[in-house]
Amino acid sequence: MLLKPITSEKAVKMIDLDNSLLFELERKYNKIEIKKEVESVFSVKVDSVRTMIRGNKKYAYVKLKKENLAADVATKLGVI
């Protein structure tokens, strides 16, 4: 699974305010697979996953648990 982080202004604002990360991925993956992939790749605990399909792309809003900061993960990814 290829998780492509989104670096728009809205995505960066969500990192600070909502402790969430935004990824673009293929449509074939479901929420459970997305949650397992994010937890294994970034060594964090995921609170919830929301998805949105626009065109032929799927976007995943991944909210992390309070003990894991999205800003730390975003720094590793080079988003901020």
**What's at 41, amino acid-wise?**
V
Question: Max CA-CA distance within the chain?
Answer: 34
Task: Supply the angle between the helices 9-18 and 70-77 in degrees, to the nearest 10.
Answer: 140
Q: How far apart are CA 57 and CA 19, in angstroms?
A: 23
Domains of the chain: 4-77 (3.30.70.330)
Q: Which residues contact 68 (CB under 8 A, 6 or more apart)?
A: 19, 44, 45
25-77 residue pLDDT tens: 999 999 999 999 999 999 999 999 999 999 989 999 999 999 999 999 999 98
pTM for this model (two decimals): 0.92
Going 38 to 80 to 25 to 22, the CA torsion angle's sign is positive
19-30 residue pLDDT tens: 999 999 999 999
